[in-house]
């Protein structure tokens, strides 16, 4: 078992960041503490990760490494390029690759859906190539192939799906995003806020959206408390029935294109008759009002978490996986018009 910075910090009862700085001879740390940290590290058998050391050395000299270390970017979509069709996935990749490029590193793509490929086989490939970090994108049909302990590499995943055994993960703040939407709508004067889970995907996997909405309705009067539209096989007819019974003045939904189509079929104008807000599918400067999932920031954080694990020689399944959620950004759009009077 490799000795990590955390092990040294626990031994000396100091912060891991202090150990990290001392091992790098940072002027922020006293000479006495630096000497104690180095002595303890040597006694415990700690060795700095050459993968990170070479990279940091090149950066201090203002050079780009001749052979920049790679980070695996492992996808699970239907096809090798399928993940590129999703806005959040491409933004996440951009955020990750920008951080990697700024450090003189590179992302190398691997598709776990390839014939005869398995997590065990891919783990072996990464080990043989000296790749010590992997970012997993378990958003496709082959995501179950990612369930593996990923020995010899540090790993972090993006999105709602669990990887077993658990690893570090970054994802959108679904609960917080719903709170943000509801807060904005109430401030604008909406009083009958409806929620339509218009596809089975979020109904099964993202109950944090629903939980936040139900917490909001809990304190409302019976007259203003609207039942959410929960239908695992939604149709235009079932949606129309819900609208007629609940009479929302604004609808929060996942798929605004489908909901707007249903509203047009019942001669309900957006935003004149009812406002429309989306969770996660808005885009900056586009027509739909709602939350833009901050996937680029998720990618940046994922890379930083990964490099932290590598720097501390923490590979394989962590004892305490870290989960980080990131709030989305509000897009005003054109599908929301505050009620008059």
Would you list the DSSP string of 166-235? Answer: --EEEEE-HHHHHHHHHHHHHHTT---EEEEE-SHHHHHH-HHHHHHHHHHHHTS-TTT-PPPEE-SS--
pLDDT of residue 19: 87
pLDDT of residue 246: 97
| 203 token code pair | 């109904």
**Apex CA 134: angle with CA 133 and CA 137, to 5°?**
160
Average model confidence (pLDDT) for the chain?
A: 88
Q: Tell me: the pLDDT tens digits for 97-132? A: 988 887 778 899 999 999 889 999 999 999 898 898
pLDDT of residue 61: 52
What does R_g of the chain's alpha carbons equal in angstroms? 24
| CATH 3.40.50.2300-classified regions of the chain | 174-293
**Residues 92, 172 contacting (CB under 8 angstroms):** no
Q: Residues 261-266: what's their mean pLDDT?
A: 96
pLDDT of residue 66: 56
Q: Tell me: the pLDDT tens digits for 241-258? A: 999 999 999 999 988 999
Q: Please state which CATH number belongs to domain 174-293.
A: 3.40.50.2300
- The pLDDT-based confidence of 55 (bands split at 50, 70, 90) is low
Q: How far apart are CA 55 and CA 53, in angstroms?
A: 5
- The pLDDT-based confidence of 65 (bands split at 50, 70, 90) is low
Higher per-residue pLDDT: 185 or 151: 185
């Amino acid at each position: 078992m490799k000795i990590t910075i955390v092990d040294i910090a626990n031994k000396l009862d100091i912060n891991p960041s202090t150990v990290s700085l001392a091992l790098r001879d940072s002027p922020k740390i006293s000479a006495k503490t630096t000497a104690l940290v180095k002595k303890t590290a040597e006694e415990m058998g700690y060795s700095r990760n050459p993968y990170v050391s070479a990279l940091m050395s090149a950066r201090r000299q203002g050079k780009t490494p001749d052979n920049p270390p790679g980070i695996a970017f492992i996808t699970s979509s239907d096809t090798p390029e399928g993940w590129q069709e999703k806005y959040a996935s491409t933004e996440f990749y951009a955020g990750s690759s920008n951080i990697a490029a700024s450090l003189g590193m590179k992302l190398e793509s691997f598709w776990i859906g390839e014939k005869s490929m398995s997590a065990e086989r891919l783990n072996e490939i990464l080990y043989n190539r000296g790749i010590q970090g992997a970012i997993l994108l378990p958003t496709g049909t082959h995501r179950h192939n990612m369930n593996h302990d990923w020995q010899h590499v540090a790993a972090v995943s993006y999105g709602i799906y669990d990887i077993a055994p658990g690893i570090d993960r970054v994802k959108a703040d679904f609960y917080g995003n719903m709170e943000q939407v509801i807060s904005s709508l109430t401030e604008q004067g909406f009083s009958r806020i409806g929620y339509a889970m218009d596809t089975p995907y979020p109904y099964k996997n993202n109950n944090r959206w629903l939980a936040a909405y139900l917490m909001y309705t809990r304190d409302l009067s019976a007259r203003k408390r609207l039942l959410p539209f929960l239908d695992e096989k939604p149709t235009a007819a079932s949606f129309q029935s819900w609208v007629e019974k609940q009479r929302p003045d604004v609808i929060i939904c996942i798929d605004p294109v489908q909901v707007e189509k249903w509203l047009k079929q019942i001669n309900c104008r957006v935003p004149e008759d009812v406002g429309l807000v989306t969770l996660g599918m808005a885009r900056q400067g586009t027509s739909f009002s709602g939350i833009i999932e901050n996937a680029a920031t998720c990618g940046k954080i994922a890379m930083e978490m990964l490099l932290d694990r590598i720097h501390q020689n923490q590979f394989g399944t962590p004892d305490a996986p870290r989960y980080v959620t990131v709030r989305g950004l509000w897009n005003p759009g054109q599908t929301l018009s505050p009620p008059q009077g």
